[in-house]
Structure 1
């Protein structure tokens, strides 16, 4: 298994997952406590959706979905922290 393929797929999914989770957060009023697990679930779901369009195995796509979901929740936390820092000025 090639780890570079997982990271390339995860980077491609990162913006999509962040946007979908943000929409879920605004429309479904999801608690911030559940956003990381929501990001992982959305990442797995989107990876499975695009799996037929790729040449990679389902296992590799699920792992890429998990990695991108974790990265998406980290990206969200970083953006949230930077927004709080800017608001305090």
Structure 2
């Protein structure tokens, strides 16, 4: 197994652990993972070809779709909308 694949597996495990953290504690490790991802994707693409790089990019975009949408909207000058909580059913 190559070093980029091992690094990608570690990255995925770190992302899964970060997702298990309480929401307020997800931000610092999530930002680190968000900024490390392009480097890892480029490394994978250089070692294993563009198809693997595109697959890794698709997986990354799927996992980080909400932060990516937020940053895209901010970059475009649009208001960044937060997801609202679904209405709770009344307790009997």
The structure, 1 or 2, with the larger RCO (C-alpha pairs under 8 Å, 6+ apart) is 1
Which has the larger helix fraction?
A: 1
The TM tier, using the shorter chain, reads 0.3 to 0.5
TM-score by length of 1: 0.33
Say which one has the larger Rg. 2
TM-score by length of 2: 0.33
